[in-house]
Amino acid sequence: MIRKLHNKIKNNEIISDDLVKEAITNAEKSQKELNAFVTIIKDAKRIKSDNLLSGIPVAIKDNFSTKDILSTGSSNTLKDYIPYFDATAIKKLQESGAVIIGKTAMDELGMGGTGLIAATGPVKNPWNINKITGGSSSGSAAAVAAGIVPYALGTDTGDSIRIPAAHCGIVGYKPTYGLVSRFGVFAFASSLDTVGVLSTSVEDAAIVIDQIKGKDEYDMTSWNSENINLLNSLDGNVKNKKLFYIKEICDINNYEEKNDEVIKTLKEFNKTIKKCKELGIEIEEESFDQKLLDSIYPTYLTIASAEATSNMSNLTGIIFGPRGKGNTIDEMMKDHRTKGFSSLIKRRFVIGSYVLQKENQEKYLFASAKVRHLIVNKMNELFIKYDGLILPASSEPAPNINGIRSSHLRTEQYLAIANFGGYPSITIPSGFVNDMPIGVNITGKIKDDANILNIAYTIEEKLGYKNQTTKGWK
Amino acid sequence: MNHKFTNEEVTNLADKLLIGISEEEVKDIVEELTFVANSMNVISEIKEINDLKPLTHPFDLYETSLREDDEYEEGHDIEDLLSNADFTQGREIEVPKVVG
Amino acid sequence: MALKVVIGLEMHCELNTKTKVFSKSLNNYNDIPNSSVTAIDLAFPGTLPIVNKEAVKKAIKMALCLNCEIPKVLIFDRKNYYYPDVPKNYQITQNTKPIGINGKIDVEVNNELVPITIHDIHLEEDTASLDHYFDYSLIDYNRSGVPLLEIVTDPCIYCPEAAVAFLEHLRNIYKYTDCSEADTKKGQIRCDVNVSLKEENSTELGTKVEVKNVNSFSNVYAAILYEIKRQTELIEAGKNNEIIQETRRWDEESGTTIRMREKVESIDYKYYVDANIPKIKIEKEWIEEIKSEIPLLPLERKAKYIKDYNLSSYDSGVLVKAKEVSDYFEECLELGINPKEASNWITSQILGYINKHDVEIDDIFLTPKRLLNILNYLNKGTISSKQAKELFYLILDEKEEPEILIKKYGIEQIDNDEELLLIIQNILDNNQNQIEEYKAGKTKVFDYFVGIIMKETKGKANPVKAKEILLSKL
């Protein structure tokens, strides 16, 4: 999509200004039904360049710091926060001439996987507005799936790019941890947070990450990737590539609720596997200890909550954010935090704080971090033999909005494996179940993004859902 | 035996985080904490973790270098630094009197 | 029942790097509030710590000076607590792997070497300063993020003199190694003092009372004395249970310690590894390189002065007490001044002068070079030793070159044989009676004549020559 738009602009078939105007108009028109944006930037600025992204509109998840543009992280604690500096990824995007037309709503500060927990209200799925988008990069996923922008930046801590991508029928790519700088991205869980992209094709995802990746002096966990060029790695050659899937995750017998959607989703996954084999990709089954698989979600919850409660203790309304009421500074901070955070966040904070307590660390946090270690060791071992892990991105398509309780406990979060080990992981659309899109996910070894993207690119070609958007806002 | 989480304990935890919570929220937190506690019991049955250290970083970045001390940044514009603060005085952030 | 005091110290000292420990802001003392502040120092969302190599280097240097074990990897932890002087509401410090552990150093107390064992040394960030007014406080973040090294001893100190000697010794090492200005007047050093009493022969420690934030060594001494008195009185009155584990502060005005925290419950800082800082290998070569840069430390210099220059233990001790003085001495030696002579001038004349006038040895006009000038005149016989002292004070007071002052005040020795002969002959001619007395065996009269010669020449006569001539004439 990006290359096509770029060529059209270059050949004067379309004017960038019109493209941008159209995106802004569509964004505005979509708000009432999708509610994907926190801010729509009508006077979007840009610089001109020869870059593939030049003149093409983009939407940014609201947890990126954008200079002079409201950046709330969809939290009331930051409801009026206007940063005076850009995140590194934003700076690099702007250097390419990309035009930021809006900031997208998200589950508050990245927490929650539904898309329902933004300060600006729930984000709706463009395929069916009674369905959730998944989260936390909900607005970004909705905006791309609705064709408002060809791509959007997101962040992924557990599956926050890859689940909404699956639910919205688009591509969601979480690169290797540190491939893109986290500077200026509101921290959720520092050892898991990754900047990534939502787009309608693997090629577009490659173009965008090529532009924003790189070692950043302001993020010590970023690393030098000069030898990686994702776009040039997409050659469609998957000869001798080997993938595995985890038997227990793909076996209907392991699911408590054997409903129609799960059955169909797993069936679709089998079809996808068959098509992959037709491409010449070797696919094998590997078995995991069910206990270990069941531990992924609580382990994730424990680690992410512990890191989050510490990371977000800077949100007190003293230096930024609305000052709370009270006679003492503690009262002010408490008022700010009590009113500013949603119930879900508070719950995570309390859990995080509980597991961080000295007397609980061993039993909770360290035990979880050891499970994380075990899983990463297992994966690293498998990645000696295989290029990647292939899984259904979700065991079902997007659920109904009104079917979700606010205290909804998710127990399935297999995609977090990629965050545990910092692995590159990409979801691509793989079909439909009951008229809602589903996706397939591929996860590979660290710094092997080029290989994983090329495999995804080749499978995408075969599956035929490239450049897929809903027709609603075009 | 599992620890039974009480409302008081949860409220106290939240209070230390400078967060006020409603009764409804307390209930949800107790429920989720109980889920986590139960899960940890399952985890403790995974014997393989006993020999492992907690993993705090996704992978090692040993080649990372530390920042040289020679390059510095001038202090940022005070207008920028204070532009998001609701209460300031002169070049400083104002808060109610803090007693040690 | 004999009671014994057991003291443990925590000494915080700011390192003299160019920039702060986790940001590129300048580490300087600036009167203008919030002038050395960048986004990281205010914990704006998305900002990340970037570790200063020089701060780590200086921390390692100090750890080596105190004979600590250095870990193989650098790890930082978060200490979580809500207080407005820490904008992140967590302080980055070291808990899992401090930069130095299990150290040991000998300190001289009353001419005896006392071993002090170091529990650990850790690198952390300093906090913002709060200025308190009638009903509000203002926050200045200039100090926020200044590298702070905390040295923690075991409870191994048994008298207040040893505690102060240890602190003075440490301050000296900071200066000798150029790791810090170590100026208590600038608030660069702050101490926490743990004091407990136990029965003389008991192996069990008593209840520990912590006196926090003591800002000078004399106050450390006073606080320890006060705590010994307070706790002894309580024990003797049978009120042992009133000594509780608590935090107190030193009140200079009343000369007492005052309870700070009523709560007996100690704060749980929920220490956890900071994932924003990758584990970085501390290479052996680097440690060796740092080791090679450590200059001779006070006690080593002292031993050298005694052994190589034959100075007394006392004088050597005086010379090494302040690095600047020791450096001055060594500069004198480099210029070729005889060690004994240099030592005498410094310990008696120069230190007397700088103490009386409260100036620094580096600031006086009498540089080692000018001292050499004086000594050259003296040794050539151009001036007498009395004149040398006179010249010494003139240089200090008038800040003029010795040559100019000699001319200005006519400070010159009468060295010429004929001139001296003339003067002496004249004196003898006017004192016939005394000559008779001398000849009659009253040898004391010789000194009488020397006195008159000196008086007549205003002390300018070369005493050796004058005595020779006088003897021959008598």
HEC letters along C358-402: CCCHHHCCCCHHHHHHHHHHHHHCCCCHHHHHHHHHHHHHHCCCH
* Residue partners of C199: CB distance under 8 A and separation at least 6: C1, C2, C3, C4
From the list A78, A61, A46, the residue with the least C-alpha distance to A323 is A78
- Give the burial class of C81: count Cβ atoms within 10 A of its Cβ; 0-12 exposed, 13-18 middle, 19 or more buried: middle
Closest-CA residue of B relative to A327 is: B96
Distance CA C58, CA C55 (A): 5
- Using a 10 angstrom Cβ sphere, with 0-12 exposed, 13-18 middle and 19 or more buried, the burial of residue A398 is buried
Does the CA dihedral A317-A318-A320-A325 come out positive or negative? positive
* pLDDT given for residue A30 in this prediction: 96
pLDDT at A405: 61
Flag whether B82 is in a domain.
no
Give the separation between CA C255 and CA C392, rounded to whole angstroms: 42
B32 in a structural domain: yes
**C20: distance to nearest CA of chain A, Å?**
14
- Is pLDDT of A296 > 80? yes
Residue B89 to residue C138, Cβ atoms within 8 A: yes
The domains located in chain C, with CATH, are 3-288 (no CATH), 295-409 (no CATH), 417-473 (1.10.10.410)
What are chain C's partners, defined as 3 or more CB pairs within 8 angstroms? A, B
Give the integer Cα–Cα distance in Å for C102 and C121. Answer: 9
Q: Is A221 on the interface with C (CB under 8 A)?
A: yes
Q: Taking residues A138-156, report their average pLDDT.
A: 98
Whether the CA torsion A401, A405, A406, A408 is positive or negative: it is: negative
pLDDT tens per residue, range C375-417 = 998 888 788 788 888 889 999 998 989 888 888 887 777 777 8
**Does the N-terminal peptide bond of residue A136 adopt cis geometry, omega within 30 degrees of 0?**
yes
Q: pLDDT per residue over A377-417, tens digit each? A: 999 999 999 999 999 999 999 999 988 764 445 557 899 99
Closest Cα of chain B to A454: distance in Å?
23
- Mean pLDDT (whole number) for C418-428: 85
Secondary structure (3-state) at C275: coil
> What was the pLDDT predicted at A258?
82
Cβ atoms of residues C3 and C234 within 8 Å: no
Query: What's the confidence (pLDDT) of residue A408?
Result: 47
From the candidates A136, A137, A138, A305, which is the catalytic residue?
A136
In a domain, B70, yes or no: no
pLDDT at position A473: 47
Expressed in percent and rounded to 5, the helix, strand and coil fractions of chain A are 40, 15, 40
Flag whether B18 is in a domain: yes
Mean pLDDT of A363-377: 97
- Over residues A143-165, the mean pLDDT reads 97
- Asked if residue B97 lies in contact with residue C133, where contact means CB atoms within 8 angstroms, the answer is yes
Please tell me the distance from the alpha carbon of residue C451 to that of residue B36, in angstroms, as a whole number.
98
Q: Is the pLDDT of residue A474 over 70?
A: no
Which pLDDT score is estimated for A407?
44
The tokens describing A261, both together, are 């959607």
ipTM of the complex: 0.96
Output the six-digit token pair for C456.
Answer: 């007549």
Question: Strands, DSSP E only, in C316-426?
Answer: none
> Does A178 contact B61 at a Cβ distance shorter than 8 Å?
yes
> How many Å lie between the alpha carbon of B83 and the closest alpha carbon of chain A?
8
For C202, other C-beta atoms within 10 Å of its C-beta total: 11
The yes-or-no answer on residue A445 being catalytic is no
> A136 with A142: CB under 8 angstroms?
no
Q: Output the average pLDDT for chain A.
A: 95
In a domain, B34, yes or no: yes
pLDDT at residue number C267: 83
Q: Is B3 touching C (CB cutoff 8 A)?
A: no
The yes-or-no verdict on residue C192 having pLDDT over 50 is yes
From the candidates A16, A61, A174, A425, which is the catalytic residue?
Answer: A61
From the centroid of its chain, how far is CA A1?
20
- Minimal Cβ distance to A307: which of C88, C275, C277: C275
Residue-range definition of the domain harbouring residue B26? 7-51
| Number of domains chain B contains | 1
Task: Sketch the domain layout of chain A as residue ranges.
Answer: 2-239+418-463
Furthest C-alpha separation in chain A: 70
Q: Which CATH class is domain A2-239+418-463?
A: alpha beta
pLDDT band at residue C169 using 50, 70 and 90 as cut-offs: very high
B60 touches chain C (CB under 8 A): yes
**Would residue A136 show up in a list of annotated catalytic residues for this protein?**
yes
Confidence label for A245 from pLDDT (cuts 50, 70 and 90): very high
- Strand A57-61 and strand A151-156: the pairing is parallel
DSSP B53: P
Helix (H, G, I), strand (E, B) or coil at A205: helix
User: What letter would DSSP give residue B95?
Assistant: E
Contacts of A103 (CB under 8 A, 6+ apart): A37, A38, A39, A41, A59, A60, A61, A62, A64, A66, A69, A70, A71, A72
> Is the CB of C278 less than 8 angstroms away from the CB of A365?
no
Residue A247: active-site member: no
Strand residues in C99-244 grouped as ranges (E): 100-109, 112-125, 129-132, 136-140, 147-153, 189-199, 209-214
State the average pLDDT for chain C: 91
Residue B80 lies in a domain: no
pLDDT at A395: 92
| Confidence check: pLDDT of A216 > 50 | yes
B75 shares contact with chain A (CB less than 8 Å): no
Give the nearest partner residue to C46 out of A87, A309, A313, using CB atoms: A87
pLDDT tens across C291-336, in order? 999 999 998 999 999 999 999 999 999 999 888 999 999 999 999 9
Contacts of C333 (CB under 8 A, 6+ apart): C309, C339, C342
- Number of Cβ atoms within 10 Å of the Cβ of A351: 25
Q: For chain B, say whether C35 makes contact (Cβ under 8 Å).
A: yes
Q: Quick one: pLDDT at residue A317?
A: 97
Are C34 and B73 an interchain contact pair (Cβ–Cβ within 8 Å)? no
